[in-house]
């Protein structure tokens, strides 16, 4: 049981590191996480990305990291989808605040 728990902790840590590497990659290649989301990851505007879509985009962008660990980091709830919220929680919160402000102001 301890060995299984230790392995899970290790894999979770590696997944978080992979996600950090991926966000750095997106910033470098697209100028920002949100821009990468809209242009490369979710160009159809569905607000979600399936595992197969992510893997295809990563291949197309020549992302050098482990896409399976990346998916583990992104699909927290096991839904088979990931969202901008799961990719960039802080950015998603700022975007929601901006939307609220814009709706209240105009």
CA–centroid distance for 18 within its chain: 10
pLDDT at 14: 93
Q: What tokens appear for 105 in the block?
A: 């102001």
**CB under 8 Å to 82, separation ≥6 — which residues?**
48, 49, 54, 71, 74, 75
Cα-Cα-Cα-Cα dihedral of 81, 86, 88, 89, to 10°? 150
Number of neighbours of residue 54 by Cβ within 10 angstroms = 22
- Mean pLDDT of the region 57-81: 94
Tokens matching residue 48: 């979600």
Domains defined along the chain, listed by start: 2-105 (1.10.238.10)
User: Quick one: pLDDT at residue 87?
Assistant: 95
Q: Tens digits of per-residue pLDDT, 22-63? A: 999 999 999 999 999 999 999 999 989 999 999 999 999 999
In whole angstroms, give the CA distance from residue 90 to residue 54: 21
């Amino acid at each position: 049981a301890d060995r299984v728990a230790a392995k899970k902790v290790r894999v979770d840590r590696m997944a978080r590191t992979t996600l950090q590497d991926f966000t750095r990659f997106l910033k470098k290649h697209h100028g920002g996480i949100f821009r990468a989301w809209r242009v490369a990851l979710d160009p159809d505007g569905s607000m979600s990305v399936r595992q197969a879509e992510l893997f295809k985009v990563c291949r197309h962008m020549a992302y050098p990291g482990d896409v399976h660990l990346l998916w583990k980091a992104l699909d927290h709830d096991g839904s088979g989808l990931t969202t901008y919220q799961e990719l960039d929680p802080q950015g998603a919160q700022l975007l929601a605040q901006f939307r609220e402000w814009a709706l209240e102001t105009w």
